[in-house]
């Protein structure tokens, strides 16, 4: 039998924790009870509207940063544009999270 040294014990602990949490993953993807009913078209329109709003806000952050930094030296412009890209990605992720949490994964 091979002995596990100290550097691999952390990986072994994560593997055991992951294997122990496997049944909880199956419970998270269980279907809604039959009495919960279907979601109406207004509900889905609102959900996709929220998703689209955060998509447009993310794009507006980048386009706004590009317009606001015109005429600025590249040494000052580049960090601002990178920050706007990070903000865009964060807004998109927030929109996806809201859509998934409040519109897709609800009964």
27-49: pLDDT as tens digits: 666 677 766 778 889 999 999 99
Instruction: List the structure tokens of 67.
Output: 């317009």
Q: Give yes or no for a contact between 58 and 87, defined as CB atoms under 8 angstroms apart.
A: yes
DSSP 37-93: -PPPHHHHHHHHHHHHHHHHHHHHHHHHHHHHTTTS-HHHHHHHHHHHHHHHHHHHH
pLDDT in tens, 49-95: 999 999 999 999 999 999 999 999 999 999 999 999 999 999 999 99
What whole-number distance in Å separates Cα of residue 85 and Cα of residue 60? 10
């Amino acid at each position: 039998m091979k002995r596990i040294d100290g550097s691999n014990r952390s990986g072994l602990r994560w593997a055991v924790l992951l294997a122990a949490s496997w049944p909880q993953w199956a419970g998270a993807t269980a279907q809604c009870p039959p009495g919960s009913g279907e979601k109406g078209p207004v509900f889905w329109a609102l959900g996709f509207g929220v998703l689209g709003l955060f998509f447009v806000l993310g794009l507006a952050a980048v386009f706004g940063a590009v317009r606001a930094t015109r005429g600025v030296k590249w040494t000052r412009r580049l960090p601002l544009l990178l920050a706007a890209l990070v903000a865009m990605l964060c807004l998109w992720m927030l929109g996806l999270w809201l859509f998934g949490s409040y519109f897709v994964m609800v009964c």
